[in-house]
Every structure is written in C-alpha cells, then in structure tokens.
Amino acid sequence: METIRHMALGCCVISTIAGMIRVFWPENNFAPVINAVLALYILTAALQMIRGTDWKTLTAEIYRLTAYTQQEANVYEEYGREVGLSASVEAIRTVLDQAGVEAAVQIEGETCKVILLHGDDRSRAEAILAESCGTMDYEIVVGGEQP
C-alpha cells in the first residue's frame, strides 16, 4: 500500500507539472489525466488512513468522551435542582411575609424548615405552607431569635 501511495504521489507531482504547462500551453488534453491521478492519490491515502487506524483506541476514546459528557450533565442537573430549591424557599419566605407571619425559612436536605418567631402564628403558617408547598416537604419549628 505504501508503494502505491508513493507512486500516486509521483503521478500527482507529474500532473501538477503538467497542469503548470497547461497554464502556459492551453491547447492540450491533460485535464482528465490530472483529475484521475488526483482522485487515485486521494483514494489510496484514504485507504491507508482507514487501514492504519487503531480502532480499539478510537472506540475507547469515544466512550470516554460520552462518559465525561454524562458527568457534566449530572452536574447541571444537580445545579438546576439547587436553584429550584432556592427559588422555592424564597417564594415561601415571600408568601409568609405577605401573610404577616414572621419566620426564617431555610432548606435542609430536601426539607423546607420554617422557624416561626411567634408560636401563635403556627396555624396560619401551616395553612399557608399546605397550600403553597405542593409536594415539597416542610417542617415548622416554633421559637427563634428576632433577626
């Protein structure tokens, strides 16, 4: 295969020279020959590349790239979940403030923890949280220090 490739390269060089002659001597018929030799060289170079490729290493590299992409996707999913939880906590804090319930709201794990400043706000806070939290788990703790 290497010999064929070198012969094709030699033909390309000769055809290039013939092409340069064609520029200065336009009344010749070398164009089809030049195109055929260039096509032959491209074909032999492609066959050499395919034959010399280490397919096992290439396959392993492709699998490694897809695994890396999956890890990055998981990182983005985790970040999206954290942003969603933060937005939920902020919304609950806003709803409680609009209802006149003084409370500190924070997220612990998967649970929204609401620390009420006044114990008599518990029933109102429970009603608001039951309506506002949807499927999010929440915990109400009475007592705390004034912010």
68 close to 97: Cβ distance less than 8 angstroms: no
Domain check: are 37 and 98 in the same one?
A: no
Query: Higher model confidence: residue 129 or residue 70?
Result: 129
pLDDT at residue 22 tops 80: no
Give phi and psi for 26, each to the nearest 5. -70, -15
**Residue 66, in any domain of the structure:** no
Q: What is the mean pLDDT of the chain?
A: 76
| Structural domains counted in the chain | 2
DSSP per-residue letters across 66-94: HHHHHHHHHHHHHHHHHHHHHHHHHHHHH
pLDDT at residue 132 tops 70: yes
Segments forming the whole domain that contains residue 42: 2-53
**Residue 147, in any domain of the structure:** no
109 secondary structure, DSSP code: T
Tokens 């949280």, residue?
Answer: 129
**Residue 59, in any domain of the structure:** no
**Residue 63, in any domain of the structure:** no
84 close to 68: Cβ distance less than 8 angstroms: no
The answer to pTM > 0.75 is: no
Domain check: are 77 and 123 in the same one?
A: yes
Query: Higher model confidence: residue 43 or residue 27?
Result: 43
